[in-house]
Amino acid sequence: KASEAFIRMLPKAELHLHLEGSLEPELMFRLAERNGIQLPYGSVDEVRKAYDFTNLQSFLDIYYQCADVLRTEQDFYDLTWAYLEHCQQDGVVHIEPFFDPQTHTDRGIDIGTVVSGITRALRDGNEQLDISSGLILCFLRHLSEDDAFATLDLAQPYLQHFVGVGLDSSEVGNPPEKFARVFSRCKELGLKRVAHAGEEGPVAYIEGALDILDVQRIDHGVRCTDSEAMMARLAHENIPLTVCPLSNTRLKVYQHMSEHPILTLLERGLCVTVNADDPAFFGGYLLTNYMALVDSLDMSREQAARLAANSLTASFASEEQKALWL
């Protein structure tokens, strides 16, 4: 079995992390006070008790509500910096975090405020912690494609700050096809593409993300286990999956970690990676996710090392940079 010290020292990338999902209750209370906002919770303990989810939507309802404390450039800086400190603790050398501009612009926050706070922290993380990064702008799939296009317009002045775009929020009922045109436009703009698919949604959504959105990676993708053909395709085409173990058990995709298919997929030759998704809501950052696999699936050192190497290979870092890590 792999030890925590062994996994910590492996160079790792994190490729599926929502910055809004790294908002710890303690920081949420601090920002609420700083911004004069009354929270619907009395204490940190009360907040953590509310984080008892039954499915993806039950989480998203609370997650969007919590994000309301994020108002100023400094708020977005503090949020991102707190996450970077966890990365340093866990031996993470590269990150490609997500943010959801619509969650903020819909509340009247300027997208420039959001982008500036996040990118200022990422720059400090690069200089002070030696953690490199590429920011990914996610479109909310429960909103319309027109809304996504409007968001892309708002983001136009900041495009040089993004390595790519993603697609998140309520999956079932919002298939990839809904965003075919906006993803095609993003490709023309030279942006990489990723999409949540096959978290709660069917294999057809993974197929749609690949064939219609032309994504380089699938976020989650664990429901590929429903289809031998899809597992074979993902292995053959070397499409990375950014898998999030603690998220999957907290959102009841699996009832227990012992049922999680990540190591089975790894042994079948898929490029699977480990990620935290929304660590403040799901009980832990990257190293905790790796350790859950040790504890429930007896993950070996060799498997941990392969998962860590996959995360670097699957990243959008340059080939020169990857050669230095691997």
Active site residues: 199
Mark residues 190-209: x for contact with ligand ADE by CB under 6 A, - for none.
------x--x----------
Mark residues 23-62: x for contact with ligand ADE by CB under 6 A, - for none.
---------------------------------x------
By CB under 5 A, residue 96 contacts Zn ion: no
The reply to whether 214 sits in an annotated binding site is no
Contacts with ligand ADE by CB under 6 A: the residue count is: 10
The tokens for 32 are: 């609420």
For ligand ADE, the closer of residues 2 and 277 by Cβ is 277
Strand locations in the chain, DSSP E? 12-14, 92-95, 98-99, 132-133, 135-140, 162-168, 192-197, 217-220, 241-243, 272-274
For Zn ion, the closer of residues 39 and 218 by Cβ is 218
At residue 134's C-alpha, the angle toward residues 128 and 140, to 5°, is: 130
Q: Least distance in Å: CB of 252 to ligand ADE?
A: 12
Selected binder of ligand ADE within 14, 75, 78, 168 (CB under 6 A): 168
Q: Least distance in Å: CB of 244 to Zn ion?
A: 6
User: Which residues are within 8 A (CB) of 128 and not within 5 positions of it... i.e. 6 or more apart?
Assistant: none
By CB under 6 A, residue 22 contacts ligand ADE: no
By CB under 6 A, residue 169 contacts ligand ADE: yes
By CB under 6 A, residue 223 contacts ligand ADE: no
SS3 state at 182:
helix
Q: Least distance in Å: CB of 168 to Zn ion?
A: 5
Output the DSSP codes for 50-70: H---SSHHHHHHHHHHHGGG-
- Closest CA relative to residue 220, chosen from 167, 175, 173: 167
d(CA 305, CA 11): 9
Mark residues 251-290: x for contact with Zn ion by CB under 5 A, - for none.
--------------------------x-------------
CA 102 to chain centre: 16
b/e for 203-223, b at 16 or more Cβ within 10 A? bbbbbbbbebbebebbbbbbb
Partner from Zn ion, ligand ADE, none binding residue 24, C-beta < 5-8 Å depending on class = none
Partner from Zn ion, ligand ADE, none binding residue 21, C-beta < 5-8 Å depending on class = ligand ADE
Partner from ligand ADE, Zn ion, none binding residue 207, C-beta < 5-8 Å depending on class = none
Site for ligand ADE in 90-149 (CB under 6 A): none
2 contacts 300 by C-beta, under 8 angstroms? yes
SS3 state at 197:
strand
Which residue's C-beta sits nearest to ligand ADE?
A: 168
d(CA 12, CA 15): 10
By CB under 6 A, residue 277 contacts ligand ADE: yes
The reply to whether 18 sits in an annotated binding site is yes
Helices and strands (DSSP H and E) totals, the chain: 17, 10
Q: Least distance in Å: CB of 3 to Zn ion?
A: 28
Residue 60 CA: distances (Å) to CA of 66, 133, 281: 10, 25, 10
For ligand ADE, the closer of residues 84 and 253 by Cβ is 253
Q: Would you list which residues are annotated within the binding site?
A: 16, 18, 196, 277-278
Chain residues binding ligand ADE by CB under 6 A are 18, 21, 56, 168-169, 196, 199, 247, 277-278
